[in-house]
Amino acid sequence: MVDADLTFVIVGGGLAGAKAAETLRAEGFTGRVILLGDERDHPYERPPLSKGYLQGKEDRDSVFVHEPTWYANHDIELHLGQPATAVDRAAKTVQLGDGTVIRYDKLLLATGAEPRRLDIPGTQLAGVHHLRRLAHAERLKHVLASLGRDNGHLVIAGAGWIGLEVAAAAREYGAEVTVVEPQPTPLHAVLGPEIGQIFTELHSDHGVRFHFGVKLTAISGQDGMVLAAHTDDGEEHPAHDVLAAIGAAPRTALAEAAGLDLVDRAHGGGIAVDTSLRTSDPDIFAAGDVAALRHPLFADRLRVEHWANALNGGPAAARAMLGKDVTYDRVPYFFSDQYDLGLEYSGWAPPGSYDQVVIRGDAGKREFIAFWLKDGQVLAGMNVNVWDVTEPVQQLIRSGARPGTDRLADPSVPLTDLVTE
């Protein structure tokens, strides 16, 4: 039976919000749990939207965090299609789009992120797409199948994870793909040029055309349909559809209007939280894509837009809301699947933060582990088509060890032996 004396409200119907609600009940919380989602779909996971579901390898029901009946069975008050429009911190209330006002004792903001928009002429055309929500993936899935049948062309703005995963899916459907990217390699801001080049070769081998060092300046069309994409070097790329995959922005409007501390966009943006995921208001927490954590391991604020952060951050915030001692210091982790290449990345090593990249294995065969080092210390590791090494890679990062590069590169030396070196 629910005890109405305490009410915990969760704003955000994604993975972080759903796992937070699950954890509150698992930890024995008997008060009201109200979960607010601005989409009409039940909470779902986002990785399949650019991977298995988009490729037609997974069905729609596989993306949902819980069965629809789970929420009622666990006394979770689920409000779908109902955005939160304001937080009154003094009154401790959340206002919904229909005017409803809900009082809270503790509040979790798991509002996620939204795709950045192309600010160029032609984005109103019917063939211009984004990929963030299930509805986007459903639409794009049909588009890719149609392009594949008709030998159609897809232009993708951005060679980040979403851009590359959609490029792989599009090629598997048989569509022609051109990727436009202002940096010199794919994934430049995450992996740097050394490893980014491997993804250039991977996708080129599968027929993707890259156009580096340029930006889209316009999308032209006729009768509302896309005909071409134009870049700032004067090139015109034939296109039937265009995907904007130029990153995501944290959804901080609610927090900003409520006066919570934010992080400057130049440093990743997001809602500033401490290691317990508490915001500048002691009764408000934030988790998932929107939370900018001062990470204990990396001496910097990190805002991580990946599945594992939502999966683990939501439960951590829930425990903190219950007054438990929480230090959220998980090593950032994400994974990707592109064609026959699978990878897992752990750590944090953007360009400029490392001075060396060490390869263990055969990069030419795309079976290797890459390590990013600073003064000999491992900041990050990525295993490509090499499995069951995430735990020792993360232990190596956590340990602060400085193994010699020769031993780090030697596959015959167990990774566990390097942790104490």
Measured CA to CA in angstroms, residue 6 lies from 34, 51, 73, 151, 323 at distances of 11, 40, 19, 58, 13
Q: What is the mean pLDDT of the chain?
A: 95
Question: Across residues 309-329, what is the average pLDDT?
Answer: 97
The strand pair at 128-129 and 241-244 is best described as parallel
| Superfamily of chain region 340-418 | FAD/NAD-linked reductase, C-terminal dimerisation domain (3.30.390.30)
Domain 128-246 bears CATH identifier 3.50.50.60:
yes
User: Using 50, 70 and 90 to split pLDDT, how confident is the model at 12?
Assistant: very high
Does the domain at 3-114+249-321 match CATH 3.60.120.10? Answer given as no
Please give the pLDDT value at position 273. Answer: 97
236-268: pLDDT as tens digits: 999 999 999 999 999 999 999 999 999 998 788
Is residue 371 pLDDT above 80, yes or no? yes
pLDDT score at 2: 65
Query: How far is 315 from 17, CA to CA, in rounded Å?
Result: 9
Q: Which of 62, 82, 65 is nearest to 74 (CA)?
A: 65
- Torsion sign over Cα 132, 138, 143, 144: positive
Please compute Rg for the chain using Cα positions: 22
| Whether the domain at 128-246 and the domain at 340-418 fall into the same CATH topology | no
The per-residue pLDDT for 51 is 96
Kindly report, residue by residue over 159-214, the tens digit of the pLDDT. 999 999 999 999 999 999 999 999 999 999 899 988 999 999 999 999 999 999 99
User: What are the boundaries of each domain within the chain?
Assistant: 3-114+249-321, 128-246, 340-418
pLDDT value, residue 1: 55
Q: How far is CA 102 from the centre of its chain?
A: 29
Section 354-382 average pLDDT? 96
Query: What mean pLDDT is predicted for residues 70-75?
Result: 98
